[in-house]
Chains A and B, each alone.
Chain A
Amino acid sequence: MRLTLRVWRQKNAGAPGAMATYEVDGISPDMSFLEMLDTLNEELILRGEDPVAFDHDCREGICGACSLVINGDAHGPERTTSCQLHMRSFRDGDTIDIEPWRAAAFPVVKDLVVDRSAFDRIIQAGGYISAPTGSAPEAHATPVPKADADFAFEHAECIGCGACVAACPNGSAMLFTSAKVNHLNVLPQGAPERETRVLDMVRVMDEEGFGGCTLTGECATACPKGIPLPSIAAMNKEWLRATRKARR
């Protein structure tokens, strides 16, 4: 496959950026999107140019490091991560636009790499449980209803990649925060911090400069892990419950 790539290039956080055009040839349809970028970077290095910086780690769709907006879609045209997207989703001769996540809370570090530490600070505010660690507890000691376990697991699938923020026209982190809140709030292990968790995580989410939710649904469409949109309503319910309890 022969492709034209238009890639966002930006030297550092302070420098202005622009789209740069590159031609790549000899791309196999079985390559992943990141392997295609590796091919481009090898050529750039041979030519003595600066390779395109992009985030990646596990390359098997479970770490949440890769973060590319491909043709205007976070993680591209398929419902998966950029690393699990394959070139067979494109046609020979295509022009592909590659941009970084765009949000005030995710400043560009270089090229396609953005700083997602705002997510870490939301997690630090309450995305944990206070149970002491140690060997695995006896499973029957804490019964969890099947429906609750399924609900928790559905939300635990969030890998924190930030595609929801990138896709949201308001740069809102509601889907991420709701996934984390719902995952722990429904379980007995998360019950001691049920109220403080949602209040603190929502507060930090707002402080980090993410936008508000207007329920456009773009986040859930972009999410590679299929965190559903009603997740946000479930967090709102938890938040309203917690504000009522806090006032008492």
Chain B
Amino acid sequence: MRTFWGSTLGKKTVMAVSGLIMIGYLVAHVMGNLKVFFGPGEFNAYGHWLRTMGEPVLHDEWGLWIARVVLLTAVIAHGICAYQLSRRDIRARPTAYVHKRRRASYATRTMRWGGVIVALFIVWHILDLTTLTVNPNAQPGHPYENVVATFSTWYGNVIYIVAMLAVGLHIRHGFWSAAQTLGAGNARRDRALKTVAGGLALVLTAGFISVPVAVMTGVVS
């Protein structure tokens, strides 16, 4: 355990596994979001099901809370490792080159700040649509109406779309990197892994952004 957590490779492994858990969650999340296109009845019923899922094996809302605990653990573990590794990386290269040139891809270079942007977004997103603290409609039990209210404000759209673009870039480099860290990458599989990473990033970002776009264009109201 000490060798594992004390090593850069161990921390990278924690980041890879927690990252993949979060990607798995996002896939489920975007599928739920797209139910908004089938109207308030289906979307709100889905929202209600999230609270009762796992019943009757689980008690009311237990399924939801298990998911929340797993996700929170993943987010915290991911963040702590990212912070510690970043500090170490910056210390390992104390002097910059005088002759500067652009390095690596945009997605790769924006991993750190993109991650911070996404973390801040999650806080706003929970305050907006889970606790309804900052939601303009704030009607408990009516997620459809609350979503429409958020995306009827300019700032709601801006925050959400910027964050989703950051998520997409993060996943593009993150998914492929996680595969390398877990030792699943090799020369033959490289192209396939990059395609899956790009595809996941594109589908998730497009799926999430389609909701505010639909509200803005009046497709969903």
Q: Which of A169, A214, A218, A230 contacts B185 (CB 8 A)?
A: A230
User: Which of B86-101 touch A at CB < 8 Å?
Assistant: 88-101
Known: A199-B3, A211-B92, A233-B179. A8 touches B98 (CB 8 A): yes
Complex CA distance for A218 and B108, rounded to whole angstroms: 11
How far is the CB of B189 from the nearest CB of chain A, in Å? 8
Q: Is the CB of B176 within 8 A of A215?
A: yes
Number of A interface residues at 8 Å Cβ cutoff, please give it.
46
Known: A102-B93, A104-B93, A206-B8. A232 touches B104 (CB 8 A): no
Complex CA distance for A233 and B187, rounded to whole angstroms: 10
Q: Is the CB of B89 within 8 A of A212?
A: yes
List, in ascending order, chain B residues with CB within 8 A of A236's CB: 9, 12-13, 180-183
List, in ascending order, chain B residues with CB within 8 A of A8's CB: 98
Complex CA distance for A213 and B202, rounded to whole angstroms: 25
List, in ascending order, chain B residues with CB within 8 A of A69's CB: 97, 99
Complex CA distance for A202 and B6, rounded to whole angstroms: 11
* Stretch of A23-31, A37-45, A55-63, A238-246 that contacts chain B: A238-246
List, in ascending order, chain A residues with CB within 8 A of B99's CB: 69, 71-72, 97, 99
Q: Which of B9, B91, B97, B108 contacts A214 (CB 8 A)?
A: B108
Complex CA distance for A209 and B89, rounded to whole angstroms: 9
Q: Is the CB of A211 within 8 A of B108?
A: no
Q: Which of A71, A209, A215, A233 contacts B186 (CB 8 A)?
A: A233
List, in ascending order, chain B residues with CB within 8 A of A80's CB: none
Please report whether the interface of chain B is mostly helix, strand, loop or mixed according to DSSP.
Answer: helix
- 0/1 per residue, B139-183, Cβ < 8 Å to A? 000000000000000000000000000000000010011011111
Q: Is the CB of B12 within 8 A of A73?
A: no
Query: Interface residue tally of chain B, by bracket?
Result: 35 or more
Q: Which of A215, A229, A243 contacts B3 (CB 8 A)?
A: A243
Q: Is the CB of B93 within 8 A of A169?
A: yes
Q: Which of B10, B104, B179, B181 contacts A217 (CB 8 A)?
A: B104
List, in ascending order, chain B residues with CB within 8 A of A229's CB: 180
Closest to A241 in B: B183
Closest to A205 in B: B8
Q: Which of B11, B93, B109 contacts A103 (CB 8 A)?
A: B93
Complex CA distance for A241 and B184, rounded to whole angstroms: 12
Instruction: Answer whether residue A170 sits at the interface, using C-beta atoms and an 8 A cutoff.
Output: yes
Instruction: Answer whether residue B65 sits at the interface, using C-beta atoms and an 8 A cutoff.
Output: no
User: Which of A209-236 touch B at CB < 8 Å?
Assistant: 209-218, 228-230, 232-234, 236
Q: Which of A169, A211, A233, A243 contacts B91 (CB 8 A)?
A: A211
Instruction: Answer whether residue B190 sits at the interface, using C-beta atoms and an 8 A cutoff.
Output: yes
User: Which of A91-114 touch B at CB < 8 Å?
Assistant: 97, 99, 102-105
Closest to B173 in A: A215
How far is the CB of B141 from the nearest CB of chain A, in Å? 43
Q: Which of B7, B11, B88, B101 contacts A203 (CB 8 A)?
A: B7
Complex CA distance for A246 and B10, rounded to whole angstroms: 14
Q: Which of B90, B98, B108, B183 contacts A237 (CB 8 A)?
A: B183
Complex CA distance for A228 and B90, rounded to whole angstroms: 24
Closest to A233 in B: B185
Q: Is the CB of B95 within 8 A of A102?
A: yes
User: 28 A-B Cβ contacts within 8 A?
Assistant: A72-B101, A97-B98, A99-B97, A99-B99, A104-B92, A169-B103, A170-B88, A170-B89, A170-B90, A172-B89, A203-B7, A206-B6, A206-B7, A210-B92, A211-B89, A213-B8, A215-B181, A216-B109, A218-B104, A230-B187, A233-B180, A233-B183, A233-B185, A233-B186, A234-B183, A236-B13, A240-B13, A241-B183
Inter-chain pairs besides A19-B98, A102-B97, A230-B186, 5 sampled, C-beta below 8 Å: A211-B89, A214-B177, A216-B109, A218-B104, A240-B13
Query: Which 6 A-B pairs give the minimum distances between C-beta atoms?
Result: A237-B183, A211-B92, A233-B185, A170-B89, A171-B92, A97-B99
